[in-house]
Structures are given as C-alpha cells and as structure tokens.
Amino acid sequence: MIEDLIRRRRSIFPDQYNDQPIDRATLFRVLEAANWAPTHKRTEPWRFKVVTGEKREALGAFLRDKYLDLDPSPKEFKAKKLYHNPQRAAAIIAICMQRDPEERLPEWEEVAATAMAVQNMWLVCTELGIGSYWSSPGLIRHMGEFFDLAEGERCLGFFYMGYYDEAPPEGTRSPLDEKISWE
C-alpha cells in the first residue's frame, strides 16, 4: 500500500551508501516519477541536473573550494564532507526550479511543486531500495557558477542517491491529534 511506502521513506545519507552504481534506466525511472508531480497552471517548474561518474568529484571540489573561499573560519571536517559526499553517492541530482517567466502564480507554489516532484523521487527510491537524501547547503546559491542555469532557474538543493546495506531506522512521528483542530 502507498501508506506503507510513505512510512518507510527515510533520509539515507552518503556515508551509508555502498559502491553499487545506479544505472541510467533506474535514474530515468526515478526522474519520470518526479515529472508527474502536481503543478498549478502546468508550469512544471522542476529541473534536474544529474551528476554521475567523474563529475561527482568536480562537484565535491567546487563545493569544498567555494566553502573555503566564503567562510572566514572554515572547519576542516565540513570541507572534507562537502568534497567526499558527492563521491560517496552513486548519483547526485541537483534540484532546480524554473520560475514561470510570466509569473502567473506565486513563487512558493513553484517551489512546492518542485518539492512534490522530489517526494515522488524519494518514494520511488524507497521502493527500489535506493537510499536518498535532500541536502540544501547554503552553497546552493552559488550553483550557477558550476551548472549552466537558464534565466529564472535556481538550485534548491541536491538529491543524493546510493544503494545501502544496513536497514534504515524506524520512523517516528508525534501523535497526529496534536496537529489537528476540527473546526
């Protein structure tokens, strides 16, 4: 049931991934699910930049170097993590949003539609046994220096993906009754 799949969805982090690659057909399947997210006025604002192979190291080097350039008191462990996480992942998908040029709807609706596309990706990854994690480092505002972004397009984060060996942790949520008021 879909409810079981939703409850099993977890953040699985790059340091938990094994070395098994994700083939292009599987990546396309995950992205095809994203393409079916709801979208107001059919703007379909989601855009994806798939990073695999040697480009992962280039992304890690860019993130590390940009962090070291911008932070007045950089931390070595963070610089190493920024460099190594892309290399630990089998694939990284840069989550981008293309703003409707006519601005027919509020920007938050296009951000929300893009987030729904990512949730679709996450659910398919869960079904396929692929770990995934949405990271939104402050450095994403500089991704136009790494990726060729179109006018009105911006990066919202990275969707790290990789197969993993250990069972994901059980999920917990506070009681739903604490979040509902019946009017």
Summarize pLDDT for 8-62 with one digit per residue, the tens: 999 999 999 999 999 999 999 999 999 999 998 999 999 999 999 999 999 999 9
Q: At 165, which amino acid appears?
A: D
73 belongs to an annotated ligand binding site: no
Q: Is 134 labelled as part of a ligand binding site? A: yes
Residue 135, annotated as binding a ligand: yes
Q: Annotated binding residue at 136?
A: yes
174 is in an annotated binding site: no
User: Percentage of the chain surpassing pLDDT 70?
Assistant: 100
Question: Does 104 show up as a binding residue in the annotation?
Answer: no
How far from 101 is each of 74, 93, 144, CA to CA, in Å? 38, 24, 18
Residue-range domain boundaries for the chain: 9-50+89-165
Question: Could you tell me the pTM of the whole model?
Answer: 0.94
The CATH number of domain 9-50+89-165 is 1.10.260.40:
no
Residue 8 among known ligand-binding residues: no
